[in-house]
């Protein structure tokens, strides 16, 4: 499908940021967006790169009432030589379509998803920051726009992509965070939408996150929704524990998001001759192993923050330091290697980089 580019006048262009150290995360948006529509009986139509502007939605649009919505997150990086590079966008396309299937939404051809993002980023390449720790955050999404107050799959969807130049996700940068295990609220259950990237999963997590912050913690570590016993995600990230040179994470059993950074971390760990285990982790065993020193490091992984070290973990009022409370050696190596590949400082031996 050909993507039409709608020209912008000089008056429609925004002033660019002047200080890349003050970007923050997800607050600034570029001049253009990608928009493609899907209509029943027609399929994907009218692909265009156009001015970034608000949608005009009918108050009865299905997304507003029944939350038929999915999204993704990935980044573009400006290398020192000026190259603009994407990191594993085809993986985002596959996960997007997995989410679409779960929400009864149309799947978008993988090549259209990737090429649309490439063309949009190319059009907005001046917006890609180049300072250390910065990137262009890319947010593809799909919403149901048919006006209908009745529960059913929509006959009309918007697939769109917006771009945001960003700095570090956490204001304190790459420093250990304090985590509280949530033993009351649950994020997802097997058979639910936990492995789909849909907004409802995140909306339902807000209350637990706010309550944890009131208690002085940075994030929530979720337990499984059936037994409230086994470790799942941390906030919106996948969770890892290092038992010496063995990296352990929860298995993908339907309630955990199949993280692209998660997959990258596991691949890198194996390439560094670390052992990798995907298995259930009982929270009581976890606390015992932290106290005994069997667990030497803990960290989360996700697109926004890449790798986030964990310094302390609390469960049922019992707070334990992870290792020496600092950034673990394998956490540091994995972070440095992954961000090095993304930013062109380290050779990509895995075929993950896609240059624009």
User: Which ranges in the chain are annotated with CATH 3.20.10.10?
Assistant: 177-342
Q: What is the pLDDT of residue 273?
A: 97
What would the pLDDT profile of 248-307 be if each residue is shown by its tens digit?
Answer: 999 999 999 999 999 999 999 999 999 999 999 999 999 999 999 999 999 999 998 899
The CATH number of the structural domain formed by 177-342 is 3.20.10.10
pTM, entire model = 0.96
Q: What is the pLDDT of residue 174?
A: 84
Q: What is the pLDDT of residue 21?
A: 86
> Pairing state of beta strands 32-39 and 43-51?
antiparallel
Average pLDDT value over all residues in the chain? 96
What would the pLDDT profile of 156-178 be if each residue is shown by its tens digit?
Answer: 999 999 999 999 887 677 899 99
Q: What is the pLDDT of residue 180?
A: 97
Distance of CA 332 to the CA centre of its chain: 20
- In percent, the amount of the chain with pLDDT more than 70 equals 99
**DSSP SS3 for 176:** coil
Residue spans of beta strands (DSSP E) within the chain: 4-5, 32-39, 43-51, 69-71, 74-78, 84-87, 135-144, 156-166, 177-182, 219-223, 231-234, 238-243, 246-249, 275-278, 297-302, 306-315, 318-321, 353-355
What is the assigned CATH class of domain 4-166? alpha beta
Rounded to an integer, the average pLDDT of 57-70 is 98
CA angle, 141 then 179 then 231, to 5°: 75
Least confident of 171-180, 194-203, 239-248: 171-180
Distance of CA 212 to the CA centre of its chain: 21
Helix residue spans in the chain (DSSP H): 62-66, 89-102, 110-123, 199-203, 206-214, 260-271, 283-292, 329-342
Burial 286-304 (b: 16+ CB within 10 A, else e): bbebbeeeebbbbbbbbbb
Rounded to an integer, the average pLDDT of 115-139 is 96
User: Which ranges in the chain are annotated with CATH 3.30.470.10?
Assistant: 4-166
* Residues with Cβ within 8 Å of residue 237, at least 6 apart in sequence: 219, 259, 261, 300, 301, 302, 305, 308
Give residue 27's pLDDT band: very low, low, confident or very high (50, 70, 90): very high
């Amino acid at each position: 499908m050909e993507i039409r580019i709608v020209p912008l006048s000089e008056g429609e262009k925004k002033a660019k940021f002047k200080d890349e150290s003050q970007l923050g995360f997800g607050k600034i948006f570029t001049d253009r967006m990608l928009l493609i529509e899907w209509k029943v009986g027609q399929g994907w139509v009218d692909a265009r790169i156009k001015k970034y502007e608000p949608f005009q939605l009918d108050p009865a649009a299905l997304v507003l009432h029944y939350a038929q919505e999915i999204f993704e997150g990935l980044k573009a990086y400006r290398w020192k030589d000026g190259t603009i590079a994407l990191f594993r966008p085809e993986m985002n396309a596959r996960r997007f379509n997995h989410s679409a299937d779960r929400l009864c939404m149309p799947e978008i051809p993988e090549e259209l998803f990737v090429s649309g993002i490439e063309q949009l980023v190319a059009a907005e390449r001046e917006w890609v920051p180049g300072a250390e720790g910065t990137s262009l955050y890319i947010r593809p999404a799909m919403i149901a726009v048919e006006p209908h107050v009745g529960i059913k799959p929509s006959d009309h969807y918007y697939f769109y992509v917006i771009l945001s130049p960003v700095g570090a996700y956490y204001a304190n940068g790459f420093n250990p965070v304090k985590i509280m295990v949530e033993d009351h609220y649950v994020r997802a259950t097997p058979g639910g939408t936990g492995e789909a990237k849909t907004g409802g999963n995140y909306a339902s997590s807000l209350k637990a996150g706010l309550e944890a912050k009131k208690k002085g913690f940075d994030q929530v570590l979720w337990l499984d929704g059936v037994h409230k016993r086994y470790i799942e995600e941390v906030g919106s990230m996948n969770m890892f524990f290092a038992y010496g040179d063995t990296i352990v994470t929860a298995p993908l059993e339907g309630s955990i998001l199949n993280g692209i950074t998660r997959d990258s971390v596991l691949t890198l760990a194996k390439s560094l001759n670390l052992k990798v285990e995907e298995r259930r982790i009982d929270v009581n065993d976890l606390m015992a192993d932290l106290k005994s020193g069997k667990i030497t490091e803990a960290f989360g992984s996700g697109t926004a923050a890449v790798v986030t070290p964990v310094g302390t973990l609390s469960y049922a009022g019992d707070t334990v330091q992870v290792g020496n409370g600092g950034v673990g050696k394998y956490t540091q190596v994995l972070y440095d290697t992954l961000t090095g590949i993304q930013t062109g400082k380290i050779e990509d031996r895995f075929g993950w980089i896609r240059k624009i």
